[in-house]
Amino acid sequence: MSSEIDMEEVQEYAGNILGHMVGAATVICSDLAHKLGLYGHLAGSGGMTAGDLAEAAGTNARLTRELLDQQASSGVLSYDADEDTYALSDAGAMVMAEQHSPAWLAGGLGAVRAMYVGLDQVEAAFRGDGGVPWGDHHPCLFDGTLEFFRPCYEHHLVQEFIPALSGGETRIAEGAVVADIGCGAGLSTLTMAAAYPNSSFVGIDFHGPSIEMARTAAAEQGLNNVTFEVESATEYQGAYDLICFFDCMHDMGDPVGIAQHAKSQLSDKGSVMLIEPFAFDTRAENHAGLGGAFYGFSSFFCTPCSLSQDVGRGMGAQAGEPGMSAVFEEAGYGQFGRISETPSNIVYEAFA
């Protein structure tokens, strides 16, 4: 190593870290603004003063101004100095205020907050056996995960992914029996059930509080072709035309055993459908783009969840097609392939 330190290089490196610190502060401040309902009041308003927004949201005026200045300084909001108003653009409203927008992100910020809240227990896992069960995390993870996946499930699942299955949408639309394993709070299950009222759906997850959330949502939507059960991924029984694993297979301790059990529960012409985070074939390729987020979530949630279970394969969120195809080959499937993708997800289908 040279004895002379290149201070320009040091400053550039420090600037990179400071940029990440600004981003980290912006994420948690944006989560707070979302929880306080500030974006909803700002959307379509054309701009509001801090006092008017605080009155509308029922928040402390002084703290509200401080938070708004943080949001303006980070580009989340714009500030008009002459009018002393803060505004959320129409594009920003699609991301931060409109829950059913294809660009919705504000709700998913809770998953990042769970990383901060759970830092100590994850540190202990790093110094120990690596395991942190999913249910041991703060509840903001469960809400945040639900909202993080909402744009994908609401805008791609029925519109693109299911039609890409072998046999297309008609195979699922009339009289099919579908299991959604690792369904969490049930958004994916409910989305399919609402779209295909002549078929039957069951959502299965080992996390009781998430299943309760799913049952509540099903009752609110008045859906009578869907049920939810607390079971492990190797206990459910049936003859299913489609078994789904949406953004969860990589979290599981024994994905090969789970895939084998799914194979034993398929009907004669049934298949398995997986949605997984987008990943390239190598770790080096994944170091760009969304890899920083996916590897971060995986370090705190996905891999520790897997390591807390039997076998503990620890695939991680960036296992990609090589990792998933290896699982289904080991499980004895005859066919496995990619059928669709988005910038953030890859969809696979497997046949016994």
Mean pLDDT of 82-107: 98
pLDDT of residue 98 exceeding 70, the answer is yes
| Tens-place pLDDT, residues 316-346 | 999 999 999 999 999 999 999 999 999 999 9
Residue 209 lies in a domain: yes
Residue 1 lies in a domain: no
Domain count, the chain: 2
Mean pLDDT of 185-205: 98
117 and 195 fall within a common domain: yes
255 and 182 fall within a common domain: yes
pTM score of the predicted model: 0.95
240 and 202 fall within a common domain: yes
pLDDT bracket for residue 2 (50, 70, 90): low
Residue with tokens 């605080």: 54
20 and 160 fall within a common domain: no
Read off the tokens for 271: 């298949």
H or E element at residue 257: helix 255-264
Query: Which residues make beta-bridge pairs with 205?
Result: 230
In order, the DSSP letters of 73-87 are HTTSSEEETTTTEEE
18 and 123 fall within a common domain: no
Query: CATH code at 283?
Result: 3.40.50.150
156 and 199 fall within a common domain: yes
61 and 196 fall within a common domain: no
- Which among 145, 136, 96 has a CA at the least distance from the CA of 117? 136
196 and 333 fall within a common domain: yes
116 and 79 fall within a common domain: no
Chosen domain end from 42, 71, 95: 95
Q: Are 47 and 83 in contact (CB under 8 A)?
A: yes
324/225 Cα distance (integer angstroms): 31
Cβ neighbours of residue 270 closer than 8 Å, sequence gap 6 or more: 239, 240, 241, 242, 243, 352
238 and 134 fall within a common domain: yes
343/285 Cα distance (integer angstroms): 14
| Tens-place pLDDT, residues 245-272 | 999 999 999 999 999 999 999 999 999 9
Residue with tokens 């080991």: 330
| Tens-place pLDDT, residues 5-53 | 999 999 999 999 999 999 999 999 999 999 999 999 999 999 999 999 9
Please count the other Cβ atoms lying within 10 Å of the Cβ belonging to residue 104: 20
Chosen domain end from 95, 125, 157: 95
Q: Greater confidence, 254 or 1?
A: 254
Range of the domain at 90: 7-95
Computed over every residue of the chain, the mean pLDDT equals: 97
